[in-house]
Amino acid sequence: MFKPALFAVTAALLAAPAVAKAPAATAKLTAPVKLAAADSNALAAAVANSRRNEDRARDVWRKPAETLAFFGVAPDMKVGEYAPGGGWYSRLLGLYLGPKGKLVGLYVDPTSGAYPAERQAGIRAGAAKYPTDVAGWSGLPAERFTAMTLEAIPDSEKGTFDRIIVARAMHNLFRTNTADREIKALRSLLKDGGMLGIEQHRAKASASYAYSDGAKGYLREADVIKFMEVNGFDHVGSSDANANPKDSADHPQGVWELPPSLGTKREELKAVGESDRMTLLFRKRP
């Protein structure tokens, strides 16, 4: 597994004393931007759409309605989905944003130095077919969706996004030494006052640096908040929508021992469910 050293600023933040307490804001909070009734209805309809029948089993762990409501994602917004993966969020966002809003797949910068040539080609290919993929999942025209890699952001796109969603991806940025450049690129896309929502596997506040540097999939919540603040964001709220107190967050091979991966085939972990996750919202600082 590729695990280069982290950027100096990232290492400095993550090297904070392991006994650091979790932020006081981890209790349930009301969404900083309350959705209008019509928007809440549209979100509920997208979550319940029959096109999501195969995805719905994971809603109990991923809480999409609660998460998107907390992030204040309205159906007429321009929203970036960072590092689209298997399509679970893309399918929902396409249904929710496709009719009135704009969904943009935001793919990592393939030239960052973290990826070999074959992987770079795969990233570009993923971005190229993202609109067609989401169109097929949502039943809406491909013209409703776009995508780009972050290697060369057009000036016309900068400052035009209402929201950006980074779901279970921050650990990859830390362990590939790309966190600083990627978050700065995402910040450039947001409008003044635009917001970025993070859902991320959460390490215990007392976790060691060796366990919470991203290689195991887990990060400490306090470290993520510090990192985002250093990179031009204000932390405006936290939610426990995706919390799972059954997750001990100390698995020797990391988060991939839990469902859905069950990498070590430990049967007792099936009852734990998916990982304990922080859900954080940040506003772009002027």
| Domain spans, the chain | 8-14+24-244+253-284
Residue range 104-116: average pLDDT? 95
Give the angle 286-165-81 at the CA atoms, nearest 5°.
115
Q: Distance between CA 222 and CA 19 in Å, rounded?
A: 11
At residue 30 the predicted structure's pLDDT band, cuts being 50, 70 and 90, is: low
Residue 4 has pLDDT above 90, yes or no: no
Residue 28 has pLDDT above 60, yes or no: no
Residue 106 has pLDDT above 50, yes or no: yes
Residue 5 has pLDDT above 70, yes or no: no
Task: Provide the 3-class DSSP secondary structure of residue 38.
Answer: helix
Summarize pLDDT for 78-95 with one digit per residue, the tens.
Answer: 999 999 988 999 999 999
Q: Which fold has domain 8-14+24-244+253-284?
A: Rossmann fold (3.40.50)
Name the helix (H) or strand (E) containing 66: helix 64-70
CB proximity list for 29: less than 8 A, separation 6 or greater? 237, 238, 239
Task: Provide the 3-class DSSP secondary structure of residue 286.
Answer: coil
Summarize pLDDT for 178-213 with one digit per residue, the tens.
Answer: 999 999 999 999 999 999 999 999 999 999 999 999
**How much is the mean pLDDT over the chain?**
90
Summarize pLDDT for 220-279 with one digit per residue, the tens.
Answer: 999 999 999 999 999 999 999 999 999 999 999 999 999 999 988 899 999 999 999 999
* Tokens coding 284: 């772009």
Q: Distance between CA 234 and CA 177 in Å, rounded?
A: 23
Residue 63 to residues 58, 157, 162, 239, 244, Cα–Cα distance (Å)? 8, 30, 21, 11, 11
Q: If you search the block for the tokens 């002027």, which residue do you land on?
A: 286
What order do you get walking across the sheet with 102-107 strand by strand? 145-149, 102-107, 78-82, 161-167, 190-201, 277-284, 233-239
Residue 12 has pLDDT above 70, yes or no: no
Give the angle 233-168-229 at the CA atoms, nearest 5°.
15
Query: pTM for the whole thing?
Result: 0.89
